[in-house]
Each structure stands twice: as C-alpha cells, then as structure tokens.
Amino acid sequence: MQAPLTLVGLVDLDRPRPSPPKDSPFGADPAIVIGYAAEPVDVPVEEYDVLLTAARDAPRPWVTHADPRAAADRLARVVAERTEPAVALVQVLRMGRNMGPEERLVAESLAYSVLQGGAAFRHWLATTPRGAARPSSQPVRLARCGERLTITLDRPWVRNAVDAATRDALCEALTVVLADPSVARVDLRGDGPAFCSGGDLSEFGTSHDPARAHLLRLDRSAAARLLRCAERVTAYLHGACVGAGIELAAFAARVVAAPDTRIRLPEVGMGLIPGAGGTASIPRRIGRHRTAYLALSDTTLTARQAWSWGLVDEVAPVAGPAAQT
C-alpha cells in the first residue's frame, strides 16, 4: 500500500531545525514548505515556499504577519482544501527559477490547462453564481498623441473584467506597439471604478477542451506581447486589481498605483493558478515566496503594501484617461 503524500510542511524556525535527507529534489517534491519565526533567521530560503515572521517591515522573501504561526496554519488549511492548485502553483513558481519569462508563460499555461479539468475547478463552477455575459463592441480604446499611445480597458460596467474580446483587442493593440517603433511610450489604463477586476467569470468553464485552450492561450497572449514591449509601458492602477488586473500590469516597466488600489490573486480558491502571466510577472517584482503567499492566502494588498514589496513603483493619484493630454 502506497504511503499518503505529505503535502504541507510547517517549520518552526525559532527551534533547532533538523536536516533530514530529502527523498526527492526540492523542486520535484509536492510538499509545500512553510517556515515561520518571530524574527527573520538565516535559513536556506530556496528550501521554502513561504516564510512568515512577526517582525515589522521584514525583508524579502519574508512576509510580515502579526501571528505567523496562525498564518501558517491557515495556509495549511488552504493546501488541504485546494491541494491540486496549491501544489501546482508552488511547483510552477519553483520551476520559474531556472526559466526565462517566455518559458514561464508556457509552464503556467500547461498547469492552468490541467487544472481546468480538475475536480476543484469543476466544484467551483458548480457552486459559484456567475452573471450573464455583458460584452462591449469596443472593449479597448486607443488614443495616439505624438510618440505616446494610451491603451484603455473600456468595460467599466464590469470593472474591466477581461473576456475573450477584451483579450483579443488588447493583443491587437500591443501588436501595433511591437510593429511601430515610433511609439516610444505606452500608458495602460482602465476606465471606470477599477483598473481591472480579473477574468470575466461569465466565460469561465465555457472551454471544454483544455489542450486546445492551452494553444489558444499561447497564441493570444497579452502577457507575451507586454513582455516584449515592457520597457515602453507604464501601467496606471486604481480600484480593484484582481487576477489578470495585476498579472498583466506587473509586466510593465513602471507601475503607478492610486491610493485606493487593492490587489488580489484569488485563483487558487477557484481551483486554478494565475493564468494571465502572474507566475512570470509577479515573481520578477516580489520573488516567488511572496507570490506564493499572495496566491495561497488570497490576501488583499493595499497600494502602500504593494509599494513596500516592490509590486508597484509609485503610489500617486491616477487621473482618468480623459484627463490625459
């Protein structure tokens, strides 16, 4: 009889830590390793997926939490309840250490596609109310002024949720940028009360062929296009920046967040992992440990917290597109 898998390991780093030999390399081990301590301690950080401490303003890769043991216990419950997406998340993040950003996007899409056929995602689909589709004939607006192009997500009635039409329009806009070197600056904005509330839930579960969805995701990847022109892009965030709303923005060379910005990665709770490039873009800014914490905990980061982590570069009022000249 095969022994059950150990899928999470909680390590009290305030106590002497034994170092038993591992049965498999850390990158291949499915167990999620979470360390916690009152103060940051000198440990081989690459052997951990999340590091928690009570110390204020803890340095990367540590995450400050008032009660690190309670936070570790909560993450362990998330892993128990959403095992497949949690394990897939940390393994994709681990693999990313040895991959370029383009390869990370492929690995993310493969894992996302597998999870689309999983029991956790099917359960989420069956138990989560979702509204009807509310499409737009022009989900993305372009405005050119000299060397500057403003790309504005324009479905404010759904907080600029990204449906297939929005994704395709954004890809077309970024393709223009890549083809036109005279566009020296790109401003990425969102109209209405929020920059982007993530993927449009009305379309979740409509693809019944995960393998085909993987190929489509790679072919129509706004993330891949943003990656190729990132040095010219500034993203201006406000309101809700959920899922794709932060995953895409994090590719930009500069990210400015209004004080009301709120950032979340909710995908693990849906039985998935970030699928709009978040496992490639966000770790480049905050590291894989903090990315894992953000995704596993479904915590909400304020603009100031995101700035302290390096997820955004500046906190400042963000004027609406109409105010730009």
CATH of the domain at 317: 3.90.226.10
Shared-domain flag, residues 167 and 308 = yes
Strand pairing category for 301-302 and 262-264: antiparallel
Shared-domain flag, residues 192 and 315 = yes
Shared-domain flag, residues 272 and 133 = yes
**The token pair that represents 223 in the structure block:** 């993330």
Q: Write the pLDDT tens digit of every residue in 214-266.
A: 999 999 999 999 999 999 999 999 999 999 999 999 999 999 999 999 999 99
Which residue, among 92, 85, 86, 107, has the nearest Cα to 34 in the 3D structure?
Answer: 86
| pLDDT band for position 325 (cuts 50, 70, 90) | very low
Q: Exposed e or buried b for every residue in 149-167, given b needs 16+ CB within 10 A?
A: bbbbbbbeebbbbbbbbbb
- Provide the mean pLDDT of the chain: 93
Q: Per DSSP, what are the bridge partners of residue 256? A: 236, 314
Average pLDDT over residues 316-320: 82
| pLDDT band for position 19 (cuts 50, 70, 90) | low
Query: Is residue 3 one of the residues assigned to a domain?
Result: no
Q: Are 301 and 309 in contact (CB under 8 A)?
A: yes
Query: Is residue 251 one of the residues assigned to a domain?
Result: yes
Query: Is residue 87 one of the residues assigned to a domain?
Result: no
Single-letter amino acid code for the residue at 70: A
CA dist 116 and 211 (Å) reads 10
Domain count along the chain: 2
Residue 234: the pLDDT is 98
Query: Is residue 193 one of the residues assigned to a domain?
Result: yes
3-state secondary structure of 64: strand
| pLDDT band for position 206 (cuts 50, 70, 90) | confident
Q: Write the pLDDT tens digit of every residue in 107-139.
A: 999 999 999 999 999 999 999 999 888 989 999
Q: Per DSSP, what are the bridge partners of residue 189? A: 152
Average pLDDT over residues 197-209: 89
Shared-domain flag, residues 134 and 245 = yes
Answer whether residue 186 shows pLDDT above 50.
yes
Query: Is residue 90 one of the residues assigned to a domain?
Result: no
Shared-domain flag, residues 254 and 113 = yes
Shared-domain flag, residues 77 and 109 = no
Query: Is residue 94 one of the residues assigned to a domain?
Result: no
| pLDDT band for position 28 (cuts 50, 70, 90) | low
CA dist 319 and 228 (Å) reads 26
Shared-domain flag, residues 65 and 213 = no
Shared-domain flag, residues 115 and 55 = no
Query: Is residue 316 one of the residues assigned to a domain?
Result: yes
Residue 21: the pLDDT is 44
Query: Is residue 303 one of the residues assigned to a domain?
Result: yes
Residue 131: the pLDDT is 87
Shared-domain flag, residues 253 and 310 = yes
Shared-domain flag, residues 42 and 137 = no
Q: Within 10 Å of residue 250's Cβ, how many Cβ atoms?
A: 29
**First-last CA distance in the chain:** 69
Distances in Å between the Cα of 97 and the Cα atoms of 253, 279, 288, 300 are 20, 11, 8, 25
**The token pair that represents 175 in the structure block:** 């393709």
Q: Which of 81, 112, 127 is the last residue of a domain?
A: 81
Which residue, among 4, 66, 1, 76, has the nearest Cα to 35 in the 3D structure?
Answer: 76
Shared-domain flag, residues 190 and 294 = yes
Shared-domain flag, residues 60 and 176 = no
Range of the domain at 312: 102-323
Which residue, among 61, 73, 55, 46, has the nearest Cα to 14 in the 3D structure?
Answer: 55
Long-range Cβ contact pairs of 316-322 (< 8 A, separation 24 or more) = 316/256, 316/257, 316/258, 317/258, 317/259, 318/189, 318/236, 318/237, 318/238, 318/256, 318/257, 318/258, 320/189, 320/191, 321/141, 321/143, 321/150, 321/152, 321/189, 321/191
| pLDDT band for position 183 (cuts 50, 70, 90) | very high
